[in-house]
Amino acid sequence: MRDSILLLAVLAANLWSQPVLLDARQPSVYILRIEAASGGGEESGTLLELRNNTQWAISIRTESLYVGEKVKPLTLKNGKGVLAIRPSVIVSPCYAVEATQSASRETINNEPYQRLKLGNACTVGATSWIPSGGGVRIRVPSDHLAAGRRISVDFQYEWEVDAPNVEHRVLFMQVQPALRPQR
């Protein structure tokens, strides 16, 4: 009996000692800007990348289901098979645009954000998977990242998929250049 308890304690210690973050300098899930706003047309807007910096897969809601060359098979830690988005594929995620009331370049840190009627609400959508260490690209209209605005993308870790009402949000706000005083 004592040996069994000791074995369980060693297994538990090994399980909990596994690094959660792949890069300790970054948050678990984050968004970074890849390319600034470009000209008009279908390819216009700011190109962002949503990165999964954890040892687990995460899921996001997307406007459509991705199949074919855009995905690859992925086995979750519970043994369930899913299709994961390949690295650098541009997806259309469900996201919200939020803004401060003042919407100034110099936002106040504690000023509350409110959801605007912008973004991609996805009344109908699909669950898309991002594997551990993976990332997907998102093209956002430039006005969604104007001064005082940010985007919000909901996600879930793989163990939370069957848990109702559990989700996390990753935020991205474009850093606005400082205003230069008039001379």
pLDDT digits (tens, 9 = 90+) for 143-162: 888 888 888 999 999 988 77
The answer to whether position 32 is within a domain reads yes
Q: What's residue 34's pLDDT?
A: 86
The answer to whether position 93 is within a domain reads yes
Cβ atoms of residues 54 and 30 within 8 Å: no
The answer to whether position 180 is within a domain reads no
- Hey, CA dihedral for 16, 134, 138, 81, is it positive or negative? negative
The answer to whether position 157 is within a domain reads yes
Report the mean per-residue pLDDT for the chain. 79
Q: How far apart are the first and last CA of the chain?
A: 80
Q: What's residue 37's pLDDT?
A: 57
Q: How confident is the model at residue 38 (pLDDT cuts 50, 70, 90)?
A: low
The answer to whether position 183 is within a domain reads no
The answer to whether position 151 is within a domain reads yes
* DSSP strands (E only) in the chain: 29-38, 45-52, 58-62, 71-75, 81-85, 90-91, 95-100, 113-120, 126-130, 135-140, 149-157, 168-172
Q: What's residue 53's pLDDT?
A: 95
Q: What's residue 9's pLDDT?
A: 46
Q: What's residue 122's pLDDT?
A: 76
* CA separation for the pair 102, 89 (Å, rounded): 35
Residue 107 Cα distances to 104, 110, 146, 150, angstroms: 6, 9, 12, 11
Q: How many domains does the chain have?
A: 1
Burial (Cβ within 10 Å: 0-12, 13-18, ≥19) of residue 71: middle
Q: Could you give the percent of the chain with pLDDT greater than 70?
A: 74
* CA separation for the pair 173, 37 (Å, rounded): 14
The answer to whether position 116 is within a domain reads yes
**Using one digit for the tens of pLDDT, what is the confidence trace for 81-138?**
999 999 989 999 999 888 876 655 444 555 577 777 777 777 778 999 999 999 999 9
State which amino acid sits at residue 180: R
Q: What's residue 171's pLDDT?
A: 86
Range of the domain at 78: 20-172
Residue 146 is encoded by which pair of tokens?
Answer: 């104007």
- 15 pLDDT exceeds 50? no
